[in-house]
Structure 1
Amino acid sequence: MPKIATYKEAVDYLYSNLPMFQRVGSVAFKKDLTNTLALCEVLGNPQNKFKSVHIAGTNGKGSTSHMLASVLQEAGYTTGLYTSPHLKDFTERIRINGVTVDQQFVISFINKLQEIIEKIKPSFFEITVAMAFDYFAQQGVEVAVVEVGLGGRLDSTNVIMPELSLITNIGWDHMDLLGDSLDKIAYEKAGIIKNKVPVIISERQADIEEVFKHKAEGEEAPICFAEDFYEVVLNSDHAFNGFKVYWNKAFFLELNTFPLGGIYQRNNIQGVLMAAEILNEQGFIIPVTALQNGLSKVVDNTGLRGRWQKLGDKPMIICDTGHNKDGIQQVLKQLTLLSYNKLHIVMGMVKGKEPEAVLAIMPKDATYYFCEAKIPRAEKAQTLAEQAKVFGLHGQVIPDVNEALAVARSNASEADVIFIGGSTFVVAELNDL
Structure 2
Amino acid sequence: MISVNSFLIPVQKRFQNEYNLSKVLDLLNNPEKQIPTINVVGTNGKGSTSFYVSNGLKEKYKKVGLFISPAFLYHNERIQINNKPISDEDLNLYIKKIDEYISSFNLTFFEIWTLIAILYFYDNKVDIAVIEAGIGGIKDSTNLFSNQLVTLLTSVSYDHTEILGETIEEIIYQKINIAKPKTTLIISDDNYKYKEIIESKLNKEISVLYSNKLEEETIKYQKANKGLAKKALEFLGINNFKCLDLKPMVGRFTQINYRNRKIIIDGAHNLDGINSLINSIENKNEWTVLYGAIEGKEHRKILYSLDANFDSVNITNFDFHKSWEINNIDHINKIKDWKKFIEESENNLLICGSLYFIPQVYDYLTNK
Q: TM-score, normalised by structure 1?
A: 0.78
2-side partners of 1:321 and 1:35: how far apart? 31
What code does the residue aligned with 1:411 have?
Answer: S
Distance, in Å, in 2 between the alignment partners of 1:175 and 1:263 is 26
Deviation at 1:200, TM superposition (A): 0.6
Instruction: Return the offset for 1:7.
Output: 7.0
**Secondary structure of the corresponding residue to residue 232 of structure 1:** coil
SS at match of 1:346: strand
In structure 1, what is the equivalent of residue 288 of structure 2? 344
The one of 24, 27, 40 aligned to 1:39:
24
Whole-angstrom distance in 2 between the partners of 1:270 and 1:73: 18
State which of 164, 186, 190 in structure 2 corresponds to 1:178. Answer: 164
The one-letter amino acid of 1:19's match is Q
- 1:298 is displaced (CA, Å) by 5.5
Tell me which of 177, 199, 224 is aligned to 1:267.
224
Specify the alignment match of 2:252 in structure 1: 307
Q: How far is the alpha carbon of 1:140 from its aligned partner?
A: 1.4
Which of 227, 232, 235 aligns to 2:214? It is 232
Secondary structure of the structure 1 residue equivalent to 2:7: helix
Q: Deviations over 1:310-337 (max 9, x none)?
A: 02153110000110000000111122x1
**TM-aligned CA deviation for residue 153 of structure 1:** 0.7
Give the C-alpha shift of residue 41 in structure 1: 2.7
The number of equivalent residue pairs is: 360
Indicate the SS of the match to 1:55. strand
Contact preservation (8 Å) 1:56, 1:189:
yes
Aligned position for 1:257: none
Aligned to 1:283: none
2:7 to 12, 29, 32: 12
- Separation in 2 of the partners of 1:187 and 1:217? 10
The match for 1:408 is 342
Partner of 2:130: 145
Which residues in structure 2 correspond to 1:15-94 (within 5 Å)? 17-20=10-13, 28-30=14-16, 34-94=19-79
What letter corresponds to residue 261 of structure 2 in structure 1?
Answer: P
1:7-29 residue CA offsets vs partner (Å, 9 max, x unmatched): 79xx6351xx4134xxxxxxx22
**Whole-Å Cα distance in 1 between the matches of residues 356 and 29 of structure 2?**
34
Q: How far 1:176 moved relative to its partner?
A: 1.2
Q: 1:308 to 1:164 in 2, by over 3 A?
A: same
SS state at 1:307 partner: coil
What amino acid is the match of 2:351?
A: I
Aligned counterparts of 1:207 and 1:31: Cα–Cα separation in 2? 33
What is the alpha-carbon root mean square deviation over aligned residues?
Answer: 2.3
Aligned counterpart, 1:250 = none
Instruction: Give 1:108 deviation, angstroms.
Output: 1.8
**Aligned pair 1:287/2:239, yes or no?**
yes
Residue of structure 1 equivalent to 2:174: 188
How far 1:123 moved relative to its partner?
Answer: 0.7
Identity of aligned residues (%): 25
| TM, length-normalised to structure 2 | 0.90
Structure 2: unaligned runs, 5 residues or longer: none
| Bigger mean CA offset, 270-279 vs 356-365 | 356-365
